[in-house]
Amino acid sequence: MLKRLAASLAASTLISLGGMPALAQVACGDTVVTSVVLASDLDCTGTGLVVGADKVTIDLNGFTLRGDGDPGDLGIDNAGGFDRLTIRSGRIETFEEGVSIGGDAQQASVEDVEVFGCLGDGIDLNDSDGARITGTLVTANGAAGLQIGANATGNRFEKSAAVGNVGPGVEIHGSGNSVLKSELTLNGDGVVVLGGGNTVSGSSAYRNEDDGIEVRGDANEVVRNAAFGNLGEGIEVTDAADVVLERNTASGNGENGIWVDGASARARLARNTTLGNDLQGIQIDPEPTATVLERNTSSGNLLAGLQVYAAGTTLKKNTATANGGRGIAATGAIDAGGNRASFNPDANCEGVACP
């Protein structure tokens, strides 16, 4: 009897958690209404698994949930909006999207999962609140590694990585979401923030094909990040109001370290370090209004340390050293004092007083 039971368990593709094990086979396309553990790889020609109840755990158990690369197929589909879904410990690959969560689902969790080679987004939080993605790698997907939709709030991409995605590593349309202590490399852009009130903190955006961090939404905070070796800007703020950039390092980027452009308003740049970028350390274009630059340090950039074209920009206690052009060029700026520049060949300061 025990031998027959053990054989049945080994043959099952999925095994239920909690209570007595469920011996019924679970196949691609089935709706999962109880927590399950994968016991082998699962190869699908359509959608992998559909979530059909709250508080379901799908434990991949080190195995792979694999699609055949056809458009429209989803690895794990929670369009029904069931709450407290947990996906953990394995690999999802070659679907249209690896994980899709919508329907106003609450408090999903994706833990220690690799999502690889999907035609579109690796993970799509289309309409999801309070999801937490940790220890997860989204890589080589055809659009974004992680996309957070316009109606998605309070989601976190934490201690995870987005690598080699055709689109952004992370693309955020919603509000109140966070990218924390994560790595974003070799993507189209590292992070693109389109919604408002989001946070990017403690993360590294490097060697991306365009910008490291791009902010196009209002009231976002970009704090304590490193943006280096990107082919475009290290950090860009475009057409956004009330953005805070603080204590970031932007180095060795193919264009500016930090660039504020378009109809941006009231951006605050404080205590950032820019060095060794191929254009300016920090550039403020003519259109932005009421920008404040305070206690930033720029050195070794190919052109100016701080190049400010927008009249009415406030500069206070910034330092520019050994840049290839001017140290600080800020005609029409508001000089709040304490700016310093040295060893810049064109001129140390223009538009503000430097001792």
**pLDDT at residue 145 in the model:** 98
pLDDT band at 347 (very low <50, low <70, confident <90, very high): confident
pLDDT in tens, 172-181: 999 999 999 9
Residue 30 burial class via C-beta count within 10 angstroms: exposed 0-12, middle 13-18, buried 19 and up: middle
**pLDDT at residue 332 in the model:** 94
The upper half-sphere exposure of residue 20, i.e. CA atoms within 13 Å in the direction of its Cβ, equals 4
pLDDT in tens, 77-90: 999 999 999 999 99
**pLDDT at residue 25 in the model:** 56
**pLDDT at residue 13 in the model:** 41
List the Cα angle 169/104/86 in 5-degree steps: 65
pLDDT of 28 over the 90 cut = yes
Residue-by-residue DSSP string for 186-215: SSSSSEEE-SSS-EEES-EEES-SS-SEEE
CA-to-CA distance for 216 and 205, rounded, in angstroms? 17
CA-to-CA distance for 148 and 155, rounded, in angstroms? 8
pLDDT band at 10 (very low <50, low <70, confident <90, very high): very low
**pLDDT at residue 173 in the model:** 98
**pLDDT at residue 143 in the model:** 98
Question: For the chain, what are the domain ranges?
Answer: 225-355
Q: Which of 105, 92, 96 is nearest to 138 (CA)?
A: 92
Calculate mean pLDDT across residues 5-24.
38
pLDDT of 24 over the 50 cut = no
Calculate mean pLDDT across residues 18-30.
58
- What the block records as the tokens of 8 is 């049945």
List the Cα angle 189/191/194 in 5-degree steps: 110
- What the block records as the tokens of 292 is 């404040």
CA-to-CA distance for 281 and 264, rounded, in angstroms? 18
Q: Which residues contact residue 172 at a Cβ distance below 8 angstroms, ignoring those fewer than 6 apart?
A: 148, 179, 191, 192, 193, 194, 195, 198, 217
Calculate mean pLDDT across residues 143-153.
98
- What the block records as the tokens of 139 is 């890589």
Calculate mean pLDDT across residues 215-243.
98
Given 3-state DSSP classes, what are the helix, strand and coil percentages for the chain, each rounded to the nearest 5?
Answer: 5, 40, 55
**C-beta separation of 334 from 316 below 8 A:** no
- What the block records as the tokens of 233 is 């800007």
- What the block records as the tokens of 12 is 């099952």
pLDDT band at 233 (very low <50, low <70, confident <90, very high): very high
- What the block records as the tokens of 163 is 């690598």
Calculate mean pLDDT across residues 321-350.
96
What is the percentage of the chain residues whose pLDDT exceeds 90?
A: 91
The upper half-sphere exposure of residue 313, i.e. CA atoms within 13 Å in the direction of its Cβ, equals 32
**pLDDT at residue 110 in the model:** 98
CA-to-CA distance for 199 and 203, rounded, in angstroms? 11
Q: Which residues contact residue 344 at a Cβ distance below 8 angstroms, ignoring those fewer than 6 apart?
A: 304, 305, 320, 321, 322, 323, 325, 326, 327
CA-to-CA distance for 148 and 272, rounded, in angstroms? 27
pLDDT of 274 over the 70 cut = yes
**pLDDT at residue 203 in the model:** 98
**pLDDT at residue 94 in the model:** 98
What is the percentage of the chain residues whose pLDDT exceeds 70?
A: 93
Backbone phi and psi for residue 180, each to the nearest 5 degrees, phi listed first: -130, 130
Between the alpha carbon of residue 170 and those of residues 63, 141, 194, the distances in Å are: 25, 11, 11
* Mean pLDDT value across the chain: 93
pTM (two decimals): 0.92
**pLDDT at residue 27 in the model:** 83
Calculate mean pLDDT across residues 127-150.
97
pLDDT in tens, 282-334: 999 999 999 999 999 999 999 999 999 999 999 999 999 999 999 999 999 99
